[in-house]
Amino acid sequence: MKPSTAHKVFGLLFGAGFGFVLAAANLHEYDTIHKMLRLEEFDVFLLMGGAIGTSLPLLWWLERRRTRTVLGGPLLLSRSKPRREHVIGGALFGIGWAVSGTCPAPALVMLVSGAGLAAVTIIGLFVGLNLRDAQVRRADGAATAADGEHRDIVRVP
């Protein structure tokens, strides 16, 4: 189902609200992330733990009730066993997070809040995505690209 303009507006407003929460928690501040990674401050871990502790039972309950998503499809959560690709991808993500002091969503908040160096991180995100797509294309159709969260696997053209 193709998202309507109302869905896109809802997504934009939800994203802006999420960005506000990230900014209010200072997750767009380089020092906040580095203090967390150096285990000097634990409030970011508590924030993440609170989000997981809230979302896990709620998503489990919604899936059991056969809830439909905003776009009308069924809410189906993907479950998979960790594989080598997950470990490598997680390590690369962690290295990027440690070096840049941010991950994708807070990078956008950093940019909007005036931290121009966030543009380097955002450019790096797109370079990484394009490198991955090129790697999948070089695999001669043997590899597929999926986001790891959805059951539908999309071949990269």
User: How much helix, strand and coil, in percent to the nearest 5, is found in the chain?
Assistant: 60, 5, 35
61: tokens are 């309950």
| Structural tokens at position 69 | 């998503």
State how far the Cα of 33 lies from the Cα of 39, in Å rounded to an integer. Answer: 10
Q: Would the pTM of this model clear 0.85, i.e. be above it?
A: no
Q: Which two three-digit tokens encode residue 116?
A: 């121009």
Domain residues of the chain, as ranges? Answer: 5-138
Q: Is the dihedral of CA 59, 95, 19, 70 positive or negative?
A: negative
How far is residue 129's CA from residue 154's CA, in Å, rounded to a whole number? Answer: 14
- Structure tokens, 152: 């539908």
The per-residue pLDDT string of the chain (157 residues; one tens digit each, 9 = 90 and over) reads 566 788 788 888 888 888 888 888 888 888 888 888 889 989 889 988 999 999 999 999 998 998 888 777 788 887 777 888 778 888 888 888 788 878 788 888 888 888 777 888 888 888 888 887 777 777 665 555 555 544 444 454 5
The DSSP output letter for 143 is S
Terminal Cα-to-Cα distance of the chain (whole angstroms) = 21
CB 83: neighbour CB atoms within 10 A? 10
